[in-house]
Amino acid sequence: MNSEDLFNEAKKYLPGGVDSPIRAFKPYPFFVSKGIGSKIFDVDGNSYIDYCLGYGPAILGHSHEAIVKAVGEQIAIGTIYGTPTEKEIELAKMVVERVPCVEMLRFVNSGTEATMSAIRLARGFTNKNKIVKFEGGYHGCHDYVLIKPGSGGAIKPDSLGIPEDTSKNTLSLPFNDEEALIQLVDKHKDEIATIIVEPVMGNIGCLQPKNGFLKLLRDITKENNILLIFDEVITGFRLSYGSAQEYFNVIPDLVTFGKILGGGFPIGAFGGRKEIMGMISPSGGVYQAGTFNGNPVSITGGITTLNELNKSFYVSLNKKGEYLRSQIHDSIEDLSLNLNLSGLASMFQIYFRNGDILNYDDVKKSDIKKFNKYFKTLLKNGIFIPPSQFECCFISNAHNHDDLEKTANIIHDVLKEL
Ligand SMILES: *Cc1c(COP(=O)(O)O)cnc(C)c1O
């Protein structure tokens, strides 16, 4: 069956034909037969240079040799034991060594679980209830973070099935807005347990913090007994050896990981200082548990991946990012287009609008129709980027100069055509 037939078949058994909504792009998603290095292949006989990379995890490219080998060896000796393995200590030590804020961590199964547990921990530690997030920030799909601004500054659940009462404990702020942040904290400081933020907002494209914004967040939370959580599910092990907190030199109280940390296998983690993490069960009273926590397959994927991600890895990967962005930048200049190219390290996105982009409201003014056309035309030409203006493109170490040059040329031609 081809992708179109498979999608029609899938729709009979899976809601919307997919297992996560972003995958259901129109008219139908391509069904993958395999992924190797920088490319993925579909059942219709096409291949694509992949800048989606599973929405970030595949930083070494697909089916990396070292991962195939190490994970294969692990699978051969068992995949689940329900009792600890030495490998959990090994990966924990690697994260502690790299990431400034982490002295201890708990492995879970997804980014959603990581933020859910970190928020519970922050509430337990501060003995306060409210949380603050930023408009357009994505922290997984659990109830407290799935909210949208309602009328008159109120917060509404962003899904059916979430009680209005649940959302009442979440407050929302525009990103990069110092004044709004100061006012909100001033008003609610005795109730706010935590502020959770993506240091680079990777779920509304690739939106970067203004100079000094993360530092202000750090200072204001410290002064008011509020825990600062960096949601580094995307930026963790993506931006640099020690993640975004090292890149921006702002150290949060807690951090959440996912995506890259599992080397392509399901994982999540949250960590921080001993004094805070010691409150997690069984050593403390904040409950957290999971059948697949610390799963040896995912942990092996993580150890093998982090072993590859040494400091020189990032120099080489980020050079690829700089090269591709400079080529796209030149195309935008040459063609005198009103587009905004954003990106850093190995992340990038083109916003289909001009002018400064500081927050979610600015991103929403992008020309979505144009973006969709850009996405579809790239796909036709063998380039796969995430199918939404609100996602971010990623580069892997498997992308070689030919891949990047070809991509730059195709993007040039597609932008010209638009
Ligand atoms: C993907 C993502 C999550 C959720 O992770 P899942 O593994 O999909 O549950 C949380 N936060 C951020 C910043 C993410 O990008």
The number of the ligand 1 atom at minimal distance from the alpha carbon of 203 is 15
Q: What are phi and psi of 237, to 5 degrees?
A: 60, 10
Residue 137: CB within 6 Å of ligand 1?
no
Helix (H, G, I), strand (E, B) or coil at 330: helix
| Mutate which of 234, 235, 243, 390 for ligand 1 pocket (most atoms within 8 A of beta carbon) | 234
369, 377 contact by CB (below 8 A): no
- Do 65-308 and 331-388 agree at the fold level? no
One-letter identity of residue 147: I
Contacts of range 258-261, beta carbons closer than 8 Å, 24 or more positions apart: 258/110, 258/111, 258/114, 258/233, 259/54, 259/55, 259/56, 259/57, 259/111, 259/233, 259/234, 260/56, 260/57, 260/59, 260/236, 260/305, 261/95, 261/236, 261/237, 261/302, 261/305, 261/306
Q: pLDDT value at position 314?
A: 98
**232 in ligand 1 pocket by Cβ < 6 Å?**
no
* For residue 150, pLDDT beyond 90: no
- pLDDT of 65 > 90? The answer is yes
Q: What is the CATH number of domain 331-388?
A: 3.90.1150.10
Spacing, Cα 157 to ligand 1 middle (Å): 18
Mean pLDDT, rounded, for 171-198: 97
Rounded CA separation 313/316 (Å):
5
Q: What is the pLDDT of residues 1-15, one digit of tens each?
A: 999 999 999 999 999
Q: Would you say residue 147 has pLDDT above 70?
A: yes
Q: What is the pLDDT of residues 67-86, one digit of tens each?
A: 999 999 999 999 999 999 99
pLDDT of residue 154: 76
Q: How far apart are CA 129 and CA 114, in angstroms?
A: 18
CATH placement of domain 65-308: 3.40.640.10
Q: Three-state DSSP class for 399?
A: coil
pLDDT reported for residue 155: 87
Determine the average pLDDT of the residues in 144-162.
Answer: 87
Give pLDDT tens digits for 39-57.
Answer: 999 999 999 999 999 999 9
- For 230-239, the pLDDT digits (tens) are 999 999 999 9
Closest C-alpha residue for ligand 1 atom 8: 111
pTM: 0.98
Return the best residue to mutate from 18, 203, 257, 394 for the ligand 1 pocket (most ligand atoms within 8 A of CB): 203
Distance CA 43, CA 362 (A): 38
Q: How do the domains of the chain map onto residue ranges?
A: 65-308, 331-388
- Coil, strand or helix: which one is 184? helix
Output the average pLDDT for the chain: 97
Query: Looking at per-residue confidence, does 152 or 326 come out higher?
Result: 326
Q: How far is CA 417 from CA 277, 335, 410, in A?
A: 53, 10, 11
Both tokens assigned to 136 = 């357009």
